[in-house]
Amino acid sequence: MTSEAFDLFVIGAGSGGVRAARMAAQRGARVAVADDKPLGGTCVNLGCIPKKLYSFAAHYAEAFEEAHGYGWSASTPVLDWAQLKANRAREISRLNGIYESLLDGAGVQVLRGRARVVGPGEVEIAGQRIRARHILVATGGHPVVPPVSGAELAITSNEIFDLPTFPQHLLVVGGGYIACEFASIFRGLGAQVTQLYRGTQVLRGFDADISAFVADEMRKKGIDLRTGSDVEGIARDAATGRLRVALRDGSVQLADQVLYATGRVPNTRGLGLAEAGVALAPNGAVLVDDQYATNVAGLHAVGDVIDRIHLTPVALAEAMALVDHLFGAKQRAVDYAMIPTAVFTHPSVGAVGLTEAQARAQGRAVRIFRSEFKALKHTLSGNTERTLMKLVVDADTDRVVGLHMVGADAGETIQGFAVALKAGATKAVFDATIGIHPTAAEEFVTMREPVA
């Protein structure tokens, strides 16, 4: 049977879905949201938040060691893996409750279960059909493991947070930001880490200087980072219970866990989209126009499921633009230029705007400013970590079109500069800005001589 109708039915209660549901309800729309997983989606449960919490945890052993340079004496710290997991789980549960309260407060009806599209303006969940004037697919994505022999023995970022025992040796496969982050995190927590990437340099898509620099810093931290390397197969060693990882160069690595972080694909299987005639990309991504509408009237999609930019703030912005288009003034649009991003490696990466290669590929004449140094903190800490900062300037307009950093709290630094780049700041404006001394960030406004 078919139940009451809604103005908006959202499939997926992640960042984009929850934001769209709340904002639409606050504008007077009748809204329902359905999900068969904890509220908050990947970011809250299996991504941004727990990953950042573990990244914080991973800095403490190094911080205890650095404290010696500042006159502190302390015994060697010991990680309580079970306690870390329990504390993280408690915080995530708290956030799940907040999401539920926000939806309830906005008057959104929350349905627990997997919903699917069954016809024009109609969804089905738990055997019940529901009519909706608009349907929004905001189901995000999920990690995938390539079809190598023994792939079932590997884990993904979905399982990494709750491993029963802490892996003394973690082998990470992949060279993207997720792979590099978890390699850094588990090395910081005390694991021996081997990272394999079949390409020539990790963090493809970031500025080449940044990628090379952070790779060197990761190696200095003790990560056995190998490029041009890939897995042939994985098998369980009967005698030790450990994993034997055969590499394509003929060598074998032993590890307690193998983490695959080689990509994510949109969550569209089982949603009835293809059957409803919705156009999908080869990887399953939902194809949408500038207003996030599919080729099927009344059906829309935002977030990772459309496979544009996989960032939580982007999904939130897309959700706001869609709600404005459906239930508002239809004036809001998402500008995908100058979106800042961070990678929580150790040290972290922050970037906004064009890489040097991208700027040159656009035919721009560019001036490059670059500075590498040891942060003041490490003049006493004994840590050999270094910081890299880089500006890409359009020579014809003097506009700063790219800003990149490797160093402590890079994301915090880049967020502020992203506002300046979004506003069209020129190098002359940077030069006229007085820095805060002594900080690392002041280096961005004191670089005077181009290196290229």
The mean pLDDT of 32-56, rounded to a whole number, is 97
Q: What is the pLDDT of residues 184-218, one digit of tens each?
A: 999 999 999 999 999 999 999 999 999 999 999 99
pLDDT at position 373, please? 98
pLDDT at position 4, please? 67
Helix 48-67 to helix 81-106 angle (10° resolution) is 140
pLDDT at position 3, please? 62
CATH topology of 2-142+265-327 equal to that of 151-262?
A: yes
pLDDT at position 329, please? 83
Mean pLDDT of the chain: 97
Tell me the whole-structure pTM to 2 decimals. Answer: 0.96
Query: Which tokens go with 382?
Result: 């004994």
Please name the helix (run of DSSP H) or strand (run of DSSP E) that holds residue 11, with its range, or none: strand 2-11
Nearest partner of 116 among 300, 294, 319, 273, judged by Cα? 273
Query: What phi-psi label fits residue 372: left (phi over 0), alpha (psi between -120 and 50 degrees) or beta?
Result: beta
In angstroms, the Cα distances linking 34 to 46, 319, 388 are 18, 16, 45
The mean pLDDT of 111-138, rounded to a whole number, is 96
CATH code that applies to domain 2-142+265-327: 3.50.50.60
3-class secondary structure, 133: strand
pLDDT at position 1, please? 42
In the chain, what's the furthest Cα-to-Cα distance? 72
- 2 falls in which pLDDT band (50, 70, 90)? low
Residues 64 and 74: beta-carbon distance below 8 Å? yes
Domain 151-262 matching CATH 3.50.50.60: the answer reads: yes
Q: What is the pLDDT of residues 334-390, one digit of tens each?
A: 999 999 999 999 999 999 999 999 999 999 999 999 999 999 999 999 999 999 999
The mean pLDDT of 66-81, rounded to a whole number, is 94
Provide the annotated active-site residues: 437
The mean pLDDT of 115-141, rounded to a whole number, is 96
Residue 79 scores a pLDDT above 50: yes
- Can you give the residue ranges of every domain in the chain? 2-142+265-327, 151-262, 341-445
pLDDT at position 8, please? 98
Which string of DSSP letters, residue by residue, matches 282-342?
TTSPBP--TTSB-SSTTEEE-GGGG-S---HHHHHHHHHHHHHHHHS-S------TT--EE
Q: What is the pLDDT of residues 260-319, one digit of tens each?
A: 999 999 999 999 999 999 999 999 999 999 999 999 999 999 999 999 999 999 999 999
Nearest partner of 61 among 80, 73, 79, 87, judged by Cα? 79
Q: Quick one: what percent of the chain has pLDDT higher than 70? A: 99
Q: What is the pLDDT of residues 11-27, one digit of tens each?
A: 999 999 999 999 999 99
53 Cα distance to chain centroid: 14
In angstroms, the Cα distances linking 268 to 65, 117, 167, 286, 291 are 47, 11, 33, 8, 20
The mean pLDDT of 68-89, rounded to a whole number, is 95
The mean pLDDT of 92-96, rounded to a whole number, is 98
- Hey, what CATH topology would domain 341-445 get? Enolase-like; domain 1 (3.30.390)
Residue 76 scores a pLDDT above 90: no
pLDDT at position 75, please? 85
